Structure 1
């Protein structure tokens, strides 16, 4: 008995197996690779644009080079700063802020060698700004506040209300430098959490600006520590510390 050839479902002779599609030509392969490259480049461009917009209008990364804010912020921490503070979101006592050094608080440092790739990544916000022209401190007094060191118990007072400051570095006194100031309009009085290692408003109260920081020099409010991973978390303003501080009377 002779073997009948396999037939396809429509009755025509065939193998009974699905037919293979013709192999792609080199031209088709090249066109497919080009489309993949264009798709990847499009995604990269969109990511860079979004990163730039976020960095420009919402958040910006900064690097912590000193221990003046320990233990809230440690050396080499990378933080993200909310650029919507102080405008349009109000600045409050207790906020940890990054501000430009326009009063010469920092020593002059030699310029670092240019690195175009790093500068570009910093520009779009993918790397933290390691510029030595910024400082980070905690706002203790805002416009009109009467800030004094210290009361009989060694505490700082704001508008005659003593502060209990849980964010202070362990063992550090609220201040070993006396001061008695009223914060002018458009200024703030700032201090580091590690008071023994912070050259803040206290140290510069007899220099340019009398230790006050211009609100317009504030880049934003620190909201989160993003690096290293074992320190990821929010940066608290400790509103409970200042909740009983009365508004300035205007007559102090």
Structure 2
């Protein structure tokens, strides 16, 4: 009897292949990796490494990437803000003292009159004086709007608008009279009659009564309304409309 033990099924499965080449352990590992990745062809071709992300978008086209792009975006935003919404303005003279001093910085609201609303009595406005006052921008207070009858002065030396005397003591420069120049004007539609708060040092509508336009400022030349003093910090405040003109009747409804 042949004494050699017959190999079992389990023994045969663990024996080297007939070719004599040992089984490749990577083959089973590769099949496992292939199955884990959902059967995507070539998933294991790069040794299990995923492709690295490459920069894209606008930053990829700007030298320095986001480090350069961020300040550029901020600059463009500030330019658009100044052009269409808020514009800083430096007070160049003492014509609006004591409320606005030389060197003060104010923010001009350029949207204040862009949606149907017009300047009102008491507003502080910045306007282009070219052709009416001179070259450049000016800042003054609105005393009369289109249709108003503005007179100086009443028996007590006060400015009258549509027959109502106006108490300007809240903003008039201490020691100044409302005006040393007499005037009696009706403000044409679409224009403004403006005065400085420091009447003794202000060149305003009174000084141009005999000039073309009669010293009136076209509403279309108004840049916006000065709403805030923002510099220096110790002088920051809002520039609201005073109550002095609140009881002035509308044009045509004169008290007198």
- Counterpart pick for 1:187 among 191, 210, 234: 191
- The Cα offsets for residues 153-184 of structure 1, whole Å up to 9 and x where unpaired, read as 11001000100011000111111100000100
Decide whether the 8 Å contact of 1:144 with 1:250 is kept in 2: no
2-side partners of 1:205 and 1:237: how far apart? 26
TM alignment of 1:25-44, pairs within 5 A: 37-44=64-71
Correspondent of 2:133 among 105, 119, 122: 105
| Residue in structure 2 matched with residue 222 of structure 1 by the alignment | 226
1:14 corresponding residue in structure 2: none
How many corresponding residue pairs?
194
Equivalent residue runs for 1:3-42 within 5 Å: 37-42=64-69
Residues in 2 aligned to 1:52 and 1:242: alpha-carbon distance in whole angstroms: 35
Secondary structure class of the residue paired with 2:146? coil
> What is the correspondence of 1:123-134 to structure 2 with a 5 Å cutoff?
133-134=136-137
SS at match of 1:44: helix
Structure 1 position 161 matched with structure 2 position 164: yes
Distance, in Å, in 2 between the alignment partners of 1:213 and 1:105 is 8
Give the unaligned 5+ runs of structure 1: 1-30, 107-131
Q: Does 1:82 align with 2:109?
A: yes
Alpha-carbon contact 2:132-2:215 (below 8 Å) kept: no
Residue of structure 2 equivalent to 1:93: 121
Partners of 1:188 and 1:212 within 8 A in 2: yes
For residue 58 of structure 1, what is the aligned residue in structure 2? 85
Task: Name the CA distance, whole Å, in 1 between partners of 2:67 and 2:112.
Answer: 35
Worse-superposed segment, 184-193 or 241-250: 241-250
Structure 2: tracts of 5 or more residues without a match: 1-54
**Corresponding residue number in structure 1 for 2:39:** none
User: What is the CA distance between 1:250 and its match in structure 2?
Assistant: 7.7
User: What is the CA distance between 1:151 and its match in structure 2?
Assistant: 0.4
Give 1:201's aligned residue: 205
When the two structures are superposed, what TM-score results if normalisation uses the length of structure 1?
A: 0.72
What's the C-alpha RMSD, in Å, of the aligned pairs?
2.1
Decide which moves more: 242-251 or 45-54: 242-251
